[in-house]
């Protein structure tokens, strides 16, 4: 068996896509390859492969040990993608950004969840030949389309009429996620129910914390902030929405979009280059607030136009399914093990 040690603290902070992606991968390996891979979590004994999911300082120090075997780094963010997420004073910000890149350079192999990050990592000084793209995925056992009766029951639980048009968004409450546009859409469309699931995963160091806290406390009656929702409950929100909207200005490969696809929810996204690289053709594009508002109103008055987008979501879900990605991860870890053996 190939010994793989996963180094991660991603599950310690709720409401982060990094934690969701980490959990999906661990479950995949346990379900499909328990006889091929011996997977340990944060274990400092000798291993063939060490896969770093987060960049904790103690993990960085561990990379200097020969016991780590071949070191694999998972890139879920770059310094530039942290802008609009967390607020750090200088010189702390500059020091932290340099640390992030230094961590990635300690790796023997890098995995990115979006191919657009390859050139950016190369620009930061990493070797292109050591970077591989493997997309995120979600399990259809956790995220799936529920029955009409189950959907109706959850709407009733939330006090939402059966015929009310619902727009749902998911993610940390921060500027980068486009929460301002989501909020403004709710103010502009009082006849439509808007729901945002997510909170302040970074607490008070979240960029714009005070302003967003005030928005939550004074939200219009048709705008509901749920706070951080357990992943086991998120499936219900995807199922009761007429439209999933993620108005982010910057993303890698958002788990929330994959979760929405898997539940058959029509998807509306801000038109970003990174989406064109991974999910083009599966969602409705919007250049900004005006486009989002126009499509939401059009869909509200003629809901049949969403039928095609439900089909597209199901197609995307099949492409980024656990079944498809299981072979990719098996081949990846096996090849990394073979390289490690050759280097001995």
Q: In terms of domains, do 265 and 288 share one?
A: yes
| 229, 175: one domain | yes
Q: What is the pLDDT of residue 76?
A: 86
For residues 21 and 98, state if they share a domain.
Answer: yes
**How many domains is the chain built from?**
2
Q: What is the pLDDT of residue 273?
A: 86
Question: What span, in angstroms and rounded, lies between the C-alpha atoms of 229 and 240?
Answer: 15
Instruction: Indicate whether 175 belongs to any domain.
Output: yes
Q: Looking at residue 202, what is its pLDDT?
A: 66
Per-residue pLDDT of the chain (344 residues; tens, 9 = 90+): 999 999 999 876 555 668 888 999 999 999 999 999 999 999 999 999 999 999 999 999 999 999 999 999 999 888 887 765 667 778 888 899 999 999 999 999 999 998 989 999 999 999 999 999 999 999 899 999 999 999 999 999 999 999 999 999 998 888 889 999 999 999 999 999 999 998 886 667 777 788 899 999 999 999 999 998 988 899 999 999 999 999 999 887 888 999 999 999 999 999 998 898 899 999 999 999 999 999 999 999 999 999 999 999 999 999 998 988 999 999 999 999 999 999 87
Query: How many other β-carbons are positioned within 10 Å of the β-carbon of residue 147?
Result: 9
Q: Are residues 120 and 193 in the same domain?
A: no
Print the domain residue range for 334.
2-137+322-343
285 Cβ neighbours under 8 A, 6+ residues apart: 269, 270, 271, 275, 291
Tell me how far apart the alpha carbons of residues 36 and 118 are, in angstroms, rounded to a whole number. 30
Is 142 domain-assigned?
Answer: no
pLDDT in the model for residue 114: 86
Q: Is residue 224 part of a domain?
A: yes
The pLDDT value recorded for residue 12 is 67
Judge if 215 and 82 occupy the same domain. no
pLDDT at 230 (0 to 100): 87
Dihedrals phi, psi of 224, to nearest 5 degrees: -115, 120
Q: pTM for the complete prediction?
A: 0.86
**pLDDT score for 85:** 64
Same domain, 124 and 175: no
Predicted local distance difference test score (pLDDT) of residue 33: 97
> Are residues 108 and 9 part of one domain?
yes
Tell me if 89 is assigned to some domain: yes
Do residues 212 and 65 share a domain?
Answer: no
In a domain, 143, yes or no: no
DSSP single-letter state for residue 37? E
Q: Which residues pair with 86 in a beta bridge?
A: 206
Residue 144's pLDDT is 96
Interstrand relation of 193-197 and 166-170 (parallel, antiparallel or unpaired): parallel
Domain of 205: which CATH number? 3.40.50.2000
Same domain membership, residue 307 and residue 258: yes
> Do 67 and 91 lie in a common domain?
yes
315 and 177 within one domain: yes
Shared domain for 115 and 29, answered yes or no, is yes
Is 15 inside any structural domain?
Answer: yes
């Amino acid at each position: 068996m190939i010994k793989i040690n996963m180094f991660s603290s991603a599950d310690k902070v709720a409401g982060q896509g990094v934690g969701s992606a980490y959990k999906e991968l661990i479950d995949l390996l346990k379900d499909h390859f328990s006889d091929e891979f011996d997977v340990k979590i944060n274990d400092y004994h000798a291993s063939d492969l060490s896969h770093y999911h987060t960049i904790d300082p103690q993990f960085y120090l561990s990379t200097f040990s020969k016991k780590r075997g071949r070191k694999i780094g998972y890139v879920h963010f770059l310094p530039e993608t942290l802008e609009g997420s967390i607020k750090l004073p200088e010189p702390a910000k500059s020091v932290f950004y340099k640390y992030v890149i230094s961590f990635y350079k300690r790796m023997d192999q890098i995995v990115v969840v979006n191919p657009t990050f390859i050139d950016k990592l190369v620009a930061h000084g990493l070797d292109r030949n050591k970077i591989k793209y493997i997309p995120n995925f979600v399990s259809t056992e956790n995220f799936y389309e529920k029955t009409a009766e189950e959907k109706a029951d959850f709407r009733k639980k939330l006090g939402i009429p059966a015929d009310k048009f619902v727009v749902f968004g998911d993610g940390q409450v921060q500027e980068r996620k486009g929460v301002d546009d989501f909020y403004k859409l709710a103010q502009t469309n009082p006849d439509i129910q808007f729901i945002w699931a997510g909170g302040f995963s970074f607490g008070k160091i979240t960029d714009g914390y005070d302003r967003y806290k005030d928005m939550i406390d004074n939200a219009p009656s048709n705008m509901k902030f749920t706070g951080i929702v357990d992943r086991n409950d998120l499936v219900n929100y995807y199922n009761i929405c007429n439209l999933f909207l993620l108005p982010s200005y910057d993303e890698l490969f958002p788990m929330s979009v994959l979760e929405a696809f898997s539940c058959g929810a029509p998807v509306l996204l801000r038109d970003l280059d990174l989406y064109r690289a991974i999910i083009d053709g599966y969602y409705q594009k919007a250049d900004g607030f005006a486009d989002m508002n126009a499509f939401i109103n059009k869909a509200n008055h003629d809901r049949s136009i969403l039928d095609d987008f439900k089909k597209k979501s199901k197609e995307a879900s099949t492409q980024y399914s656990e079944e498809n990605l299981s072979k990719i991860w098996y081949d990846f870890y096996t090849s990394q093990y073979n390289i490690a053996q050759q280097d001995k």
